[in-house]
Chain A
Amino acid sequence: MRIDLRQVTTIAAKEFWDRIRNRWVLVTAIVFAAFALTITYFGAAQQGGVGFMGLEVTIASLVSLVIYLVPLIALILGFDAIVGERERGSLDLLLSMPITRFELLLGKFAGLSAALAFSTLAGFGLVGILLSYQQLDLPGLYHYFGFVLSAILMGMAFLSIAVLTSVVATDRARASGAAIGVWFFFVLVYDLVLLGVLVGTGGAIGGNAFSFLLLLNPADVFRILNVFSSEQARMFYGLATVFPQTLSDPWFLGSIMVFWIAAPLGLAAWRFK
């Protein structure tokens, strides 16, 4: 069936403006900016000093913040996209319009992505500007921009999972439960289990298999994307010892992230039929 982009845009615009009007975008941007500023300033405190440290260290600190915060915010943003309409009773009315289910889903996803991207850009952009006064040169800015972009892509991947949750769940309560579960699994549990398996098997899992397993988690893909772009940070994490250089190509990792955005959404579209 043909996709009518005007219908997608109408839905997306509503979702986006809803988030602007209820100040979701503003609040999220402030939260991002506040956390990021705190971390850039106090991030090196455990090394015995405060103040703005080098860019590589700053980004490495921001990565560990973003890896917790962005998936959580994305999941909260998207979990009731469809189930919320269903529970409210407006889904039937929407679907009686000349719009396909896929267009509705795509519009929801696009609008929410725009809201998430906008607040991420605004929040971290502000910090970026402050950083550039301090120390950022052009390559540094480029690097920082890459970090913000990858954060947005990771957010979209989790948003995509959230939209899938909202299609599958029968009510909002279950959807929110599932969304929190997804966060726990990918952000907290997955790496621990992986580490446990690695240690437990005494390294019987080869480096390639391990790297492959890391790609199955969008949060890890984000971490690798940012960590590998910096020699200093790679040492900091000790990841270089397990991760082959061939898999660290940013374009390759970027396309894995795009897959993580497309796949749950595709699954959601299939289930929504």
Chain B
Amino acid sequence: MEKNPIIEIRQVAKRFGEILAVDGVDLSVGKGEIFGLIGHNGAGKSTLFKMMLGLESPTSGEILVDGQRPRGEAFRQVRRTLGYLPENVVFYDNLTGLETLWFFADLKRADRTTCPDLLAKVGLGNAARRLVRGYSKGMRQRLGFAQALLGHPKILFLDEPTNGLDPEGIGEFYRILAELRAHGVTVILTSHILAEIQERVERVAIMKTGKICAMGTLQSLREQMDLPLRFRVSRLDDDADALRRLLQQMGKTSVYDGGRGTLVVECSRMQKMAVLRVLASATREVADIQIEEPTLEDVFLGYGNERAGTGEPIPELSEEWR
């Protein structure tokens, strides 16, 4: 648990009729942290978000956001300091981008004069006076982000924030996120595009069918998983048998031909340095080395396949190498 939590969730469950959308979640997010909530569609991320914002009330358990339960008059004050970007946000077609921001600024008691700057910040400066009707999906998403930033929020809830953005937009989004982090804003964001957020969040929680099945920093998750590292070795020498034998002698490594003059070595993290020493000493055989660390995608798929912690290579990923 975090030392200085701004969001605390204890044993929270939410039932919709027969369906248990969120099933006993414990979670705490520290002040100023960038926290990623990962999961497939329907894993319960959005429901968890809605409960944190007081849009749904939990069937059981307790939620504290900035020390307040998300309900009642006291939470109204907290809401002024929250920013929320819903999944697939839709705005009013008959308003311009600027008018949309004005409307939400009024509701949030934020200063209307900040609206043009916010629009410029998310790259909509030129579209401010155009009707939202003519906005593309990416522009609507940018407008949604500008809306979430109204009134300098302390906590940002971003549900699939990069959905519909082009690569340039995604880059800009994370640039703004880094800026916010520097100002101490707490950000919780959800995604199912893992590769994209893994370098940008401090901790992640992986949600599956309403439960959190793993939580921690990426490094700790990788270590927990003990996913194999991959060395892709470009050979100088056509005859790699000597090198192959040398590596196989180390045990617990798997060595195979990667095609096009490469050799692939898979080993556990524990053996990383030992393998590197062998490769470094083989100056006559080795031209170049690429090291492939397991991505969060691998971690996620690992959990998804229920192979967590077994240390076995993940079938989907290994097949493409063999």
Chain B neighbourhood of A10, CB < 8 A: 103, 106-107
Contact of A93 among B54, B86, B94 (CB under 8 A): B86
Chain B proximity of A83: nearest CB distance (Å):
14
Complex Cα spacing A201 to B294, Å: 84
Complex Cα spacing A156 to B81, Å: 36
Chain A proximity of B11: nearest CB distance (Å):
24
Contact of B86 among A4, A7, A89 (CB under 8 A): A89
B92 contacts A97, CB within 8 Å? no
Of the candidate stretches A14-22, A184-192, A240-248, the one touching chain B is A14-22
Contact of B94 among A18, A89, A92 (CB under 8 A): A18
Chain B neighbourhood of A44, CB < 8 A: none
Chain B neighbourhood of A100, CB < 8 A: 76
Chain A residue at smallest Cβ distance from B85: A93
Query: Scoring B residues 81 to 118 as 1 if CB is less than 8 Å from chain A, else 0, what string do you get?
Result: 01010101111101000000001101111000000000
Given A22-B94, A89-B90, A90-B92, residue A14 in contact with residue B80 (CB < 8 A)? no
Verify if B241 is at the interface (C-beta below 8 Å from A): no
Chain B neighbourhood of A21, CB < 8 A: 94
A2 contacts B90, CB within 8 Å? no
Complex Cα spacing A7 to B105, Å: 11
B50 contacts A92, CB within 8 Å? yes
Given A7-B107, A22-B94, residue A93 in contact with residue B89 (CB < 8 A)? yes
Complex Cα spacing A11 to B104, Å: 10
B89 contacts A97, CB within 8 Å? no
Verify if A46 is at the interface (C-beta below 8 Å from B): no
Chain B proximity of A49: nearest CB distance (Å):
47
Query: Scoring A residues 78 to 107 as 1 if CB is less than 8 Å from chain B, else 0, what string do you get?
Result: 000000000011101111111110000000
B50 contacts A98, CB within 8 Å? no
B53 contacts A96, CB within 8 Å? yes
Number of interface residues of B (CB under 8 A): 26
Chain A residue at smallest Cβ distance from B52: A96
Chain A neighbourhood of B91, CB < 8 A: 90
Complex Cα spacing A224 to B88, Å: 50
Verify if A5 is at the interface (C-beta below 8 Å from B): no
Chain B proximity of A3: nearest CB distance (Å):
11
Chain A proximity of B118: nearest CB distance (Å):
16
Chain B residue at smallest Cβ distance from A11: B107
A97 contacts B79, CB within 8 Å? yes
A98 contacts B107, CB within 8 Å? yes
List 16 interface pairs A-B (beta carbons < 8 Å), by A numbering.
A2-B73, A6-B106, A18-B92, A89-B88, A89-B90, A92-B86, A93-B86, A93-B147, A96-B53, A96-B54, A96-B55, A96-B79, A97-B107, A98-B80, A98-B109, A100-B76
Residues of A at the B interface (CB closer than 8 Å) are: 1-2, 4, 6-7, 10-11, 14, 18, 21-22, 88-90, 92-100
Residues of B at the A interface (CB closer than 8 Å) are: 50, 53-55, 72-73, 76-77, 79-80, 82, 84, 86, 88-92, 94, 103-104, 106-109, 147
**Other contacts beyond A18-B92, A92-B50: 12, CB < 8 A:** A21-B94, A88-B90, A89-B86, A90-B89, A90-B91, A92-B84, A93-B147, A95-B55, A96-B82, A97-B104, A98-B76, A98-B107
Across the A-B interface, the 9 shortest Cβ-Cβ residue pairs: A98-B79, A97-B107, A96-B84, A89-B90, A10-B106, A98-B76, A88-B90, A96-B53, A92-B86
